Structure 1
Amino acid sequence: MVIPESKIRFNSLVKSLDTIAKDSENGPQRLVEAVLHAWQLQSYPLLAKRVSRQLGELPLKDDVNKFSLWLSQQSFNDAAFWLASAYATWVGEKRRTEQALYFTPPKLADRVIDDLVQRGASLTTVHWHDPACGGAAFLVPTAQRMAQALAGLGLASGEVLKRIERQLSGNDLDKALLSLSRQFLLMALYPHIKAAQRFPDFDLRNEDGLLPPPSKYQAPDVVICNPPYRKLNAAETQRYASKFKDVIRSQPNIYGLFIREALNVVKPGGLIGLLTPTSFLSGASFSKLRSRIVDLSHILQIDMLSDRTSMFIAVEQETVISVLRALPTLTHEAMPTDIHILTPGGTYENVGKHRLCNNGAPWAIPRSTADSALLDCAERSTARLGDFGYSARIGHLVAFRDKRRRFPQKPMDDAPRCVVPILWAGDITKEGLDHGRVQKKNRTDYFIEVSSLGHTSVISLPSVVLQRLTSNDQHHRLIAAPVPRCWQTAHGGFVAENHVVVLQTQPGNRWTPALMAKVLNSAGINRLYRSISGASNVATSELLALPLPPPRELDEALSRTEDIDEAIRIAFGLATPVTLRKKA
């Protein structure tokens, strides 16, 4: 991947100021204020004169002025994104992760706003709200569009500012980012401020966007948000448990609660535009949330995004834009959703409409027009892994915690002990299992001592193993290999490491591990799995929900062709009779 030149320059400028940022506890905030002040002196003098800041010598430092000069040379929205991202970098990884300080790139913010406007959100008459507005990634472009639309109606600058004051609001817990958002809004509207000689007072509140708003709060017509994403700790889960009991399952991710809260606060019939990770589309811990979204809204549109590393600073998450319309009454029936895919060329391809399930199961999202046809046929099949006689489990061995003795090779002495092989994810390839395949130079633990072959960690049944950690960037998400039965029997079983998924079956199953691995490695099944998987790990819940061809039809197709991909197409009803070939 080619890193944009602007990102390289940004990294260099931010690094040059690291020492100053670490000088004191509030160093990052003071440094951002200094850069902002120098930027405003150059380009927004009315704002620089208006705010009194105790910055000492900071604005005089060369590196501060270099950064502010570079910002002034960027488009305003890009510059605001870079300065907010600089703050997130200077506060350090620990705080950035705790507060989930990852900001929306302007191109993505524009896409979310475009989607909402195309769905009927007015820029001149209705109230837009961002419940996690630090950095103003959405508020700034929304205010700019509002100003342009209102000026187009013939309103004077003073009236434009009054209308935007009424139509825009936001919440954030970080005071420094909230202050930065306020300044960014003033800078974005500077021509109108200068013309009207009036400084608007925006409704930006230092409040938790997940807690009940004040009684005087006016429900917004539009909610737009890139919520923070991180797992909640036990204390936080308890804090929100009562309010969000209808969507909390296991250890929740905070962004799921923001999705639910958006449905709480928006007016009936109002619109919601969200930029989030894709994990809520399929993850087991989001199953209640998916059902609730279908109950409370019409999911109008989903835009699947890629190229994650270049979009966000210091975060690697597959992302998705979701546009919802809150329904005035409960519904339990999902309506068709428009699916769009961001192409490598930067354009969005409409791959058609798809109906998302309402039972909490993973949502299948086609990644191309060809996937739509495959999904339509696959979803008519009720066959799953269980119908092929397989169950799924995660490898037992967590390497850094497990204290059992490990060995580079099986001990050949006469000591009375029970030792079995360890299967690591690196041992698994589409070509087959290669125990001990060199993946790490210092790896010396290929066998482990167990109390007995009956220990719960030892797997002795016929098995298929899969790599647990793959990525949507990979052509194949499912990388499966059969465990050779003679090898497994000779050792009495094996122990799988935690990054391995194990599918087990009973001896004598017609669907042998070798045949099942072929099915899972096939192009069609990989396309289906990519459609239902929104996370970087291969989850057992998603594997068990993966639509498969009916076993009887697949068995019949395999009697006609040895090509596993064609057999799967035939079994799903995608291949025409002309393509059928008898085995030689």
Structure 2
Amino acid sequence: MLGEEQQRGRQILALARAASGEVDNNLSVDARAAFCLSLLDGVPHTGRIGLFTSSIEPLAVEERHYWTGVFYTLLLSAETRRTQATYFTPPYLANAVLDLAIGAGFNLAQHDVLDPAAGGAAFLSTIAARMQQAGLEADDIVYRLNGIEIDPGLAAISRSLIQRRLGETVAREMIVTADALRVKPLAAYNLVVANPPYGRLHVDELPDDNWKAIAHSGHINKYAVFTEYCFRMAKPNALLALVIPSSFRAGPLYDRMRSYIRSNGQVVALGSVDGRKDVFVDVAQDVSVLLVRKGASHKTSVPVSFPVLGLGEIEEPQRRRLPADATRPWPTPAPDGEVLGGATLADYGITVRAGYFVWNREQHRMAEEGDPNAYPLMWAKNVKAGKLCRPAAKKGTGIDFVTVDPTSSAIVRGPAIVMQRTTNTKQPRRLICSRVAPAVSKKWNGFITENHTIILTGADPARLKLVEALLNTAAVDARYRRVSGTASISVTLLRELDLPLPNAFAEAMASHGDDAEIAAVAAYGSGAKTRTTEHA
């Protein structure tokens, strides 16, 4: 069930969407920004715009400013929003990030700040208010705040929002309109704070080769490039506080980013943000908060704080050391502390591999039933948790077939589980799998799976059924989410995933009437006690 804050946020967003449809699409950039700012000035509006302004009027000033920025983005085309990644940091998260930075030594009265992706002024406006509360004069504050924003309308809105927080007009333009990646880094700031844009980039879109230190050539993400840029903007011993997608924490293609961060500073905190659907407007994204102190390489002996940041009260964070290997994933500690299940899929007799057939590259191999060496093709869409998996056509009715050399290891002939390799934002679980109906191999002597699936095979059908039940539980799904921040399932992470010991889970299933959800929790809890016995 949604909390009151989430419900209210979704209601306001619905009103904002409706109101945006009443705004002239032909407004200039300056006129669009001015109109959005007028929503804060008590200018009477009618219709849907009036309903929206009425909904934000009673909110705290930071909330009103946030929704003003969101409204501006709704006036942009969907393509512009995606290209510029104009997804603003909500006030609760901006405050939580600032609290982390202050706890790590950021001094409101003495230090300078840069936000190189300053749209909406979520961070700079919040910092301005905190500095004012600390007793600083407006002139001092504006010389400590610095921002870069690529959208001229958002830059204008951000300047105005900061001045409104300070209660007076200031001469200095704290936020410049520019592409941050093309602004020469100065290494001049005590805190570099950002919610950088994300999305794939091509080498030709970048101004220099600095990306090579942090990304692979075929997988360059904007937020990784911004991370490297932020390090160059920070003074020695300065703090970097970044709100970024959680994919960097465990994604195999982000190993270079993890290594770069650890080579250039001490990781102070790695926060998880609750509610992937409610962090940014129009995007469901697992989000992390990274706090790093620029300087010597990360000392593995020093524990990292793992706070959970959300709308509610923040609990005392766990502290854990990062893996010794700088490229390895940075998992979130389990809530139950040191208690581990103690097993992996190998302990269940299960082997794991990625699906084989890349249909958009090998359409010439699509076949009909009865063709020589034709095997049924299992699509990811055929996988439904709790139901046996059977081949069905990608489109229409019937079954799709693929021609494969009958000696190929790609043919799955025995008991198997098929798992979706990529999940979408509407699915509540990351791990979704189902056993293949035994009749499939009996009828066709095997089957093929597409590359958006993962295949789990084992010689014991009963053990395979047990694994299917286990992997579809919330307890296991939560463990996987803690080691992976991406919607794509990693074969490596799945092989290494901590699971209850096989006997512990089997006994728990028997004790709880085959209720896998209850049994998984019970088995994790008992695993630490039985681990030595079972592995003896």
> Is the alpha carbon distance of 1:137 and 1:406 closer, same or farther for their aligned partners in structure 2, counting shifts above 3 Å?
farther
Q: Which runs of 5+ in 2 are unaligned?
A: 511-518
Matches within 5 A, 1:441-480: 443-450=396-403, 452-454=405-407, 458-460=411-413, 463-470=416-423, 477-480=430-433
Does the Cα contact within 8 Å between 1:298 and 1:334 map onto a contact in 2? no
> Using the alignment, how far apart are the partners of 1:118 and 1:348 within structure 2?
14
Equivalent residue letter for 2:497: L
> Is the alpha carbon distance of 1:401 and 1:295 closer, same or farther for their aligned partners in structure 2, counting shifts above 3 Å?
same
> Using the alignment, how far apart are the partners of 2:23 and 2:147 within structure 1?
30
Task: Provide TM-score, normalisation by structure 2.
Answer: 0.83
**Residue aligning to 2:224:** 256
Matches within 5 A, 1:192-203: 193=168, 199-203=170-174
Does the Cα contact within 8 Å between 2:376 and 2:444 map onto a contact in 1? yes
Equivalent residue letter for 1:346: G
SS at match of 1:273: strand
Query: Alpha-carbon deviation of 1:289?
Result: 1.0
Equivalent residue letter for 1:421: P
**Residue aligning to 1:390:** 351
SS at match of 1:223: strand
> Using the alignment, how far apart are the partners of 1:254 and 1:229 within structure 2?
5
SS at match of 2:277: helix
The one of 265, 271, 293 equivalent to 1:325 is 293
> Is the alpha carbon distance of 1:269 and 1:384 closer, same or farther for their aligned partners in structure 2, counting shifts above 3 Å?
farther
**Residue aligning to 2:142:** 165
**Correspondence 1:423 to 2:391:** no
Does the Cα contact within 8 Å between 1:396 and 1:497 map onto a contact in 2? yes
The one of 238, 242, 249 equivalent to 1:270 is 238
SS at match of 1:301: strand
Does the Cα contact within 8 Å between 1:389 and 1:509 map onto a contact in 2? no
SS at match of 1:490: helix
Q: Percent identity?
A: 23
The CA RMSD over aligned residues, in Å, is: 3.9
**Correspondence 1:184 to 2:145:** no
**Correspondence 1:229 to 2:180:** no
**Residue aligning to 2:440:** 487
Query: Alpha-carbon deviation of 1:34?
Result: 2.2
**Correspondence 1:139 to 2:124:** yes
**Correspondence 1:533 to 2:484:** yes
Does the Cα contact within 8 Å between 2:415 and 2:461 map onto a contact in 1? no
Query: Alpha-carbon deviation of 1:93?
Result: 1.0
**Correspondence 1:122 to 2:107:** yes
Equivalent residue letter for 1:202: E
**Residue aligning to 1:373:** 338
Query: Alpha-carbon deviation of 1:487?
Result: 3.3
Query: Alpha-carbon deviation of 1:301?
Result: 1.9
> Using the alignment, how far apart are the partners of 1:118 and 1:558 within structure 2?
42
Equivalent residue letter for 1:337: V
Matches within 5 A, 1:209-224: 209-211=180-182, 213=184, 217=186, 219-224=188-193
> Using the alignment, how far apart are the partners of 2:399 and 2:50 within structure 1?
56
Does the Cα contact within 8 Å between 1:227 and 1:275 map onto a contact in 2? yes
Q: Which whole-Å deviations, capped at 9, do the CAs of 1:115-153 have from their partners, x for residues lacking one?
A: 1112221111111111111110101010011111125xx
Query: Alpha-carbon deviation of 1:256?
Result: 1.6
Does the Cα contact within 8 Å between 2:277 and 2:284 map onto a contact in 1? yes
The one of 275, 280, 287 equivalent to 2:248 is 280
**Residue aligning to 1:350:** 316
SS at match of 1:346: coil
SS at match of 1:325: strand
Q: Which whole-Å deviations, capped at 9, do the CAs of 1:101-123 have from their partners, x for residues lacking one?
A: 10011111111111111222111
Equivalent residue letter for 1:167: R
- Pick the structure with greater CA Rg: 1
The one of 493, 496, 505 equivalent to 1:542 is 493
Q: Which whole-Å deviations, capped at 9, do the CAs of 1:182-233 have from their partners, x for residues lacking one?
A: 111111111xx2xxxx62313322233334526xx46111111111111213
SS at match of 1:317: coil
**Residue aligning to 1:157:** none
Equivalent residue letter for 2:388: L
Does the Cα contact within 8 Å between 1:294 and 1:333 map onto a contact in 2? no
SS at match of 2:109: coil
> Using the alignment, how far apart are the partners of 1:258 and 1:22 within structure 2?
31
> Using the alignment, how far apart are the partners of 1:175 and 1:300 within structure 2?
34
Matches within 5 A, 1:505-524: 513-514=464-465, 517=468, 520-521=471-472
> Using the alignment, how far apart are the partners of 1:384 and 1:297 within structure 2?
35
> Is the alpha carbon distance of 1:29 and 1:334 closer, same or farther for their aligned partners in structure 2, counting shifts above 3 Å?
farther
Deviates more, 1:279-288 or 1:452-461: 452-461
SS at match of 1:180: helix
**Residue aligning to 1:89:** 74
Deviates more, 1:458-467 or 1:92-101: 458-467
Equivalent residue letter for 1:539: S
> Using the alignment, how far apart are the partners of 2:365 and 2:274 within structure 1?
41
**Correspondence 1:76 to 2:61:** yes
> Is the alpha carbon distance of 1:437 and 1:29 closer, same or farther for their aligned partners in structure 2, counting shifts above 3 Å?
farther
> Using the alignment, how far apart are the partners of 1:571 and 1:488 within structure 2?
37
SS at match of 1:503: strand
Task: Provide TM-score, normalisation by structure 1.
Answer: 0.77
Q: Which whole-Å deviations, capped at 9, do the CAs of 1:509-553 have from their partners, x for residues lacking one?
A: 89964565466457765443232011122222422443568xxxx
> Using the alignment, how far apart are the partners of 2:66 and 2:80 within structure 1?
18
> Is the alpha carbon distance of 1:389 and 1:467 closer, same or farther for their aligned partners in structure 2, counting shifts above 3 Å?
closer
> Using the alignment, how far apart are the partners of 2:451 and 2:300 within structure 1?
38
> Using the alignment, how far apart are the partners of 1:330 and 1:207 within structure 2?
31
Q: Which whole-Å deviations, capped at 9, do the CAs of 1:373-410 have from their partners, x for residues lacking one?
A: 235x75xx8x7759957241135254798466577xxx
> Using the alignment, how far apart are the partners of 1:256 and 1:119 within structure 2?
23
The one of 263, 272, 277 equivalent to 1:295 is 263
Query: Alpha-carbon deviation of 1:342?
Result: 4.2
**Residue aligning to 2:516:** none
> Using the alignment, how far apart are the partners of 1:521 and 1:70 within structure 2?
41
SS at match of 1:362: coil
**Residue aligning to 2:513:** none
Query: Alpha-carbon deviation of 1:13?
Result: 4.3
> Is the alpha carbon distance of 1:347 and 1:331 closer, same or farther for their aligned partners in structure 2, counting shifts above 3 Å?
closer
Deviates more, 1:420-429 or 1:96-105: 420-429
Does the Cα contact within 8 Å between 1:468 and 1:537 map onto a contact in 2? yes
**Residue aligning to 2:308:** 341
Count of residues in Structure 1 that have an aligned counterpart in Structure 2: 521
> Using the alignment, how far apart are the partners of 2:51 and 2:149 within structure 1?
29
The one of 477, 482, 503 equivalent to 2:456 is 503
> Is the alpha carbon distance of 1:384 and 1:38 closer, same or farther for their aligned partners in structure 2, counting shifts above 3 Å?
closer
**Correspondence 1:15 to 2:21:** no
> Is the alpha carbon distance of 1:62 and 1:186 closer, same or farther for their aligned partners in structure 2, counting shifts above 3 Å?
farther
Does the Cα contact within 8 Å between 1:337 and 1:353 map onto a contact in 2? yes
SS at match of 2:267: strand
